[in-house]
Amino acid sequence: MTYIDGFVIAVPTANRQKFIDHALTGNSVFMELGALRILECWGDEVPEGKQTDFRRAVQATPEETVVFSWIEWPDKATRDAAMGRMEEMMATDPRMNPEINPMPFDGARMIYGGFTPVVTLEAPTANKAGDFIWYELLTTDAAAAQAFYGRVLPWTFAGSGQADMDYRIISAPEHDVAGLMEITPEMAEHGARPVWLSYLAVDDVDAAVDAITQKGGAVQMAAMDVPMVGRMAMVADPQGAPFYVMKPASSEISLAFASDRPRVGHAAWNELHTPDPAGAWAFYGEMFGWVQDGDMDMGPLGRYEFIRHGGLIGAVMPAEAPAWTAYFRVPDIDVAKAAVEAGGGQVVQGPDEIPGGEFSMNCLDPQGAAFGLIGYRKA
């Protein structure tokens, strides 16, 4: 677990550049000893408090500026090993020698401590294997589906530029989130029906397909490359729930599933219905590193078991028909319910209140594809 050393210092304002030069020289040692990141922050807005404040903590004078600094280590063991070498390095490394690289501040007034993080929030910069990165609606009537979902969710639709198929890109207000594709006669002959499908990121599509089949899964569409998009294959887990595995061509992060914060129009939850929860956990855990993080007793429906992959990404629940259901976030659950019903869809369950004060509901679109919605009740 990450470990933090924090410091508060009073530095003579006139010594700003001397402090920067001193920090750049000395901090390079900590980086060599395994630090992940070091920040030296020059005071900009440091208000005076009623009882105490940063300035009083270090007895800063009017001619001094408060500096707030921290060193981020990969773990406490790395930090302790680094600190154990300080005495040796102060004697052998000129960067740590106070005569060669003197502190341009009064070190006697510095306060410091070591800290174990208990909450960490960080905007992701890339997707990892096992992340949900895309959603796709297969439908028997693309125009009707576009009209329906455009009323229910704040989505816009655009062509993908693929000359050989009508594949439409669905965009939420902030990012692209899904695709929409009409089922061709050939696809229908092979059993395709209206359905929402989910895409999971993998590092190697072909290796993932091999592993899936070895673990009892099945290949429903062989691996293929889509220019400028990536390599993908449609598979099913051992219980029969279909999904895609994909290695995108771009390294840009996908926020189709809003893992960082609630985003209207994005997927907010991923729910696996399966006749064998224990088997599903074994499969997805081995394939993608997912772990169970608590559960909720649903009485006769069984246990609702939460999936953690970094953050909470969804849940596993017992059901006869294996399938993934994506839940998309709406600004007002009651307005969305009215739009579903007015557009010819069906609300199968809900809206039901869920932990956190939001409401969820399960729906069918006019062509029969199942999906979920999540949102607050504003009325």
pLDDT recorded at residue 101: 85
Q: Are 3-115 and 132-375 in the same CATH fold?
A: no
What rounded mean pLDDT belongs to the chain? 93
**Which amino acid would we find at residue 203?**
D
Mean pLDDT in residue range 314-329: 96
Contacting residues for 215 by C-beta, under 8 A, at least 6 apart: 238, 283, 286, 287
* DSSP β-ladder status, 156-159 and 132-139: unpaired
**Which amino acid would we find at residue 370?**
A
pLDDT band of residue 90 (cuts 50, 70, 90) is: confident
Mean pLDDT in residue range 182-193: 89
Classify 195 as helix, strand or coil: strand
Alpha carbon distance 17, 26 (integer Å)? 14
- The residue extents of the domains of the chain are 3-115, 132-375
**Which amino acid would we find at residue 355?**
P
Q: Directed axis angle between helix 333-342 and helix 142-152, to 10°? A: 150
Model confidence at 86: pLDDT above 90: no
CATH 3.10.180.10 fits 132-375, yes or no: yes
Which strands make up the sheet holding 370-375, listed edge to edge?
291-297, 303-309, 311-318, 267-274, 323-329, 370-375, 359-364, 346-353
pLDDT recorded at residue 159: 85
CATH 3.30.70.100 fits 3-115, yes or no: yes
pLDDT recorded at residue 260: 84
pLDDT band of residue 307 (cuts 50, 70, 90) is: very high
C-alpha dist (Å) from residue 27 to 4, 151, 368:
14, 55, 61
> At CB < 8 A and 24+ separation, what contacts does 298-307 make?
302/277, 303/277, 305/277, 305/281, 307/270, 307/272
Which strands make up the sheet holding 156-159, listed edge to edge?
156-159, 167-171, 176-182, 132-139, 195-201, 242-248, 230-236, 218-226
Least confident of 27-31, 51-55, 87-91: 87-91
- What are residue 59's phi and psi, to 5 degrees? 55, 45
**Which amino acid would we find at residue 221?**
M
pLDDT band of residue 251 (cuts 50, 70, 90) is: confident
pTM: 0.74
Alpha carbon distance 256, 174 (integer Å)? 10
Number of Cα atoms under 13 Å in the Cβ half of residue 86: 10
Contacting residues for 24 by C-beta, under 8 A, at least 6 apart: none
Alpha carbon distance 377, 71 (integer Å)? 43
Classify 214 as helix, strand or coil: helix
Taking only the tens place, the pLDDT of each residue in 147-161 is: 999 999 999 999 877
pLDDT recorded at residue 66: 97
What 8-state DSSP symbol labels residue 49? P
